[in-house]
Structure 1
Amino acid sequence: MTPEDAARASAEAVGGISSLFMLAPSTYARGAELGFDGMDFYVAGRGAALGEVDADVVAAAFVFFHPPTVRRMWEASASVMSRRDAAAAWAAACHDWAREHVPADVDAARLAALAGQVVEAASPAGAPLFAGWRALEEPPADDASALAVHRMNGLRELRAALHGAAVLAAGLTPLEAVLVRTPYMAGIFGWPEPYPDVAGVAEAWASAEAATDAMMGRVLGVLMPAELEEFVALSSALHGVLSG
């Protein structure tokens, strides 16, 4: 298995494992307890890895979200807690969700170790949310479920950043990319209707996805061939169990 093969084979798991905590009702129940309103916890918590910045910086890092929507939620959440505390609360929600949902028969410790090698060696160039998440405190090694999902979220942020760059390089707008890949998310990402016709841009999106695999493959190249196979197998198995 080549690193690019591994990037392609693990794309769904890398993108999907930590997205499940981001979509979990328990995450937003926790946000409400802390004083956030709905999706404000997502924008405040995820974006807070960037620090105390203007909303346009957060929108730039999110890439695929409607910038005015990001601004509204970012500014609405400013009074709830400091950005540093919001980042910590978001990470804690990730860890709590992992402890509850990662099954004991998954080798979370090994997945955490493999993902950790990649996270540690990866360049942060063009990936500010990945860089910010990597700078947060990790769970301890004996908290394997939380550590595995924490590191997989780092890889999610990295792949998302690389994909955003590939989409823009392919000549697509962020909204077009959302409508091709996950049209049901356009409203959640804040984009107002009417939406443009994207019938003619599927090929450009596929080219961007292939470029993302190539870039992510270079990142995964820090792993040996046998480790690549392990990473794909473990991450795919965990994603399969978690997504039901």
Structure 2
Amino acid sequence: MDATVAGRTARTLETLHALCYFAPEVDAELVELGVRTGRTTYFASRAAPLGAVTPGVVAATFFVFNPSLVAKLLPPAWAAASPDDVVAARLRGVDTAYRRLLGDDALAAPEIAEAAGLARTAVEGADPAGRPLFAAHADLDWPDVPHLALWHGLTLLREFRGDGHIAALHAHGLSGIEALVTHTATGRGFTQPAAQATRAWSDEQWAAAVAGLAERELMTADGTLTAAGHDQRASVEQMTDDLAAAPWSRLGDDGAARLKAIGKPLVIKAIAAGAFPEGVFA
């Protein structure tokens, strides 16, 4: 399957995974365990499949967050709740959030089970070597409920792609903050204010990253990507698509198209129902 087409499909469906990080239902389930609301629930819920790892491991695998933020927030999460309890709480929260955003009738449709099966076909047998977040999530049991199995499958696809994306960024000589700076400069995805606020990079750190990129002629002094910077970002995305293509090749063109056909209306419905706060995306 063409890697670029697969990448577009992945980015379309990723919304159905990513909404869990903004869903109040997931946050509430984790707060019930004693985990602090907000960014702490994000770090705990995504890292929990790895076990009670240190902040350094999470900063390295999540890549674009200020390590000082992770060091501040993660240890109290593990003091409050075990990783196994966090994994179970996140799944309960996703269940409730999906029901609110998509509706019980839509989730009961046979196409949901079909889509879950397609996602499982894609990820089963995918090589976890060098992909720590994917490997950790792949070790979890598959949920029995079809819409939760779909979410789990899409989560695996997202983490497989994400681990490869970090490898691509490293290969292009970009640090975590430089990856954010250049990505927001493309005008797609996170806005700069949202990126700084959620990833905890100060104005001074952001400016220093821009200055360093300008010295390498990847940006101008005012934070605009140069032609070389645009080329670099395009190369990063192409390498990311290439590294993420294997699961989609297992599905083939027809299987991937079918998964997208089922998933895209769900994406549209979830966004329309308020799955993401205003101002997060450009």
Query: Is the structural similarity TM-score above 0.5?
Result: yes
CA distance in 2 between counterparts of 1:237 and 1:216 reads 23
Determine if contact 1:69/1:190 at 8 Å carries over to the other structure: yes
Aligned to 1:18: 17
What letter is aligned with 2:12? A
**Residues 2-41 of structure 1 aligned to structure 2 (within 5 Å):** 2-38=1-37, 39-41=39-41
Determine if contact 2:35/2:81 at 8 Å carries over to the other structure: no
SS across alignment from 2:127: coil
Structure 2 residue corresponding to 1:154, chosen from 153, 156, 176: 156
Aligned to 1:84: 84
Determine if contact 1:6/1:232 at 8 Å carries over to the other structure: no
TM-score of the pair, normalised by structure 1: 0.90
What letter is aligned with 2:134? F
**Residues 1-244 of structure 1 aligned to structure 2 (within 5 Å):** 2-38=1-37, 39-103=39-103, 104-105=105-106, 107-140=111-144, 143-179=145-181, 180-181=183-184, 182=190, 183=192, 184-194=194-204, 195=206, 196-197=209-210, 198-200=223-225, 201-244=229-272
Query: How far off is 1:8 after superposition?
Result: 2.4
Alignment identity in percent? 28
CA distance in 1 between counterparts of 2:247 and 2:2 reads 8
Alignment RMSD (CA, Å): 1.9
Query: How far off is 1:119 after superposition?
Result: 1.5
Q: Which moves more between the two structures, 206-215 or 230-239?
A: 230-239
* Larger RCO (alpha carbons 8 Å, 6+ apart): 1
CA deviation string 1:49-87 (max 9, x = no partner): 111222111111111211121121111212111122222
Determine if contact 1:10/1:236 at 8 Å carries over to the other structure: no
CA distance in 2 between counterparts of 1:113 and 1:101 reads 22
- Bigger Rg over Cα: 2
What letter is aligned with 2:165? H
Determine if contact 1:167/1:205 at 8 Å carries over to the other structure: no
Query: How far off is 1:146 after superposition?
Result: 1.5
CA distance in 2 between counterparts of 1:152 and 1:8 reads 13
Determine if contact 1:112/1:147 at 8 Å carries over to the other structure: yes
* 1:15–1:174 Cα change, 3 Å: farther
Q: Which moves more between the two structures, 108-117 or 23-32?
A: 23-32
Give the number of equivalent residue pairs.
241
CA distance in 1 between counterparts of 2:155 and 2:196 reads 22
TM-score of the pair, normalised by structure 2: 0.78
CA distance in 1 between counterparts of 2:13 and 2:164 reads 13
SS across alignment from 2:143: coil
CA distance in 2 between counterparts of 1:12 and 1:128 reads 20
Query: How far off is 1:113 after superposition?
Result: 0.7
